[in-house]
Structure 1
Amino acid sequence: MPTPRETILTALHARLSALPATALRGEVLPERVPADGLLILRDGSPGEPEVTLSPLAYHYQHRTEIEAVVQGTERDSRFDALTAQIGAVIAADRTLGGLCDWVEPEAPEPVDLPVEGAASLKAAVIAVVLHYSTADPLS
């Protein structure tokens, strides 16, 4: 049975997979960026939990990342549309179906990356903080 952490990350990936962009999890950047864009979910770090003792619970602010990448013409408007879609899918269900207490994305810091012999990339890492609690730090 998967841990709550894995269940939450799987649910977030499933939400991202519903978008037109290709959504991967923990993969390396492929040689070609799909026409609709590319999202790569990184598991990130749960950080140090706050602990309550009665009942025993570990409260995490797990920082994960979504790498968002577009390529080609009109990349500025396509990147803007892609980040807006990510925001909309997260805002539609801030608890991922009750799996966590809150999901909070942070604003992207986009960069333009030149590619020799091809259209430039526009990319950003979007931090997403997952607030959840577990009964055990390994679960």
Structure 2
Amino acid sequence: MPTPRETILSALHARLSALPATALRGEVLPERVPAEGLLILRDGEPGEPEVTLSPLRFHYQHRTEIETVVQGADRDAAFDTLCANIGAALATDRTLGGLCDWVETEAPRPVDLPVEGAASLKAAVIPVVLFYATSDPLL
């Protein structure tokens, strides 16, 4: 049986997989970026929890990251559309179906990355904070 943490991360990945871009989890950047864009979900760090004692609960603000990459002549518009799609997909249900208390995104910081012999990439890391509680830090 998966832990709440894994269940939440899987639900986040599933939400990203519903977008037109290719969504991976914990993979390395492939040699080719799909025309519709690429998303790589990084599991991130749960950080130090706040603890309540009655009942015992560990409250996390788990920081994950979505690496967002587009390539091509119209990469600025493609990047903007992809970021807007991510925001809309997460805004439809900020609890991921009741699995966590809240999902909050932060603004991306895009960079252009030159690629020898090909169109440059536009990429950014989009921080995503997952707020949830568990009864045990290992669960």
TM-score range, shorter chain: over 0.9
Structure 1 partner of 2:29: 29
Structure 2 partner of 1:84: 84
SS in 2 for 1:13: helix
Structure 2 unaligned regions, length at least 5 = none
Structure 1 partner of 2:7: 7
Structure 2 partner of 1:56: 56
Query: How much has 1:117 moved relative to structure 2?
Result: 0.2
Hey, what's the Cα distance between the residues in 2 that align with 1:72 and 1:117? 12
Query: How much has 1:2 moved relative to structure 2?
Result: 0.1
The count of aligned residue pairs is 139
Per-residue CA deviation, residues 90-137 of structure 1 (Å, 9 max, x unaligned), is 000100000000000000000000000000000000000000000000
Query: How much has 1:24 moved relative to structure 2?
Result: 0.1
Query: How much has 1:79 moved relative to structure 2?
Result: 0.1
| Counterpart amino acid of residue 22 in structure 2 | T
Residue 43 in 1 paired to residue 38 in 2? no
| Counterpart amino acid of residue 61 in structure 2 | Q
| Counterpart amino acid of residue 110 in structure 1 | P
TM-score, with normalisation over the residues of structure 2?
1.00
SS in 2 for 1:62: strand
Structure 2 partner of 1:96: 96
Hey, what's the Cα distance between the residues in 1 that align with 2:134 and 2:64? 17
SS in 2 for 1:12: helix
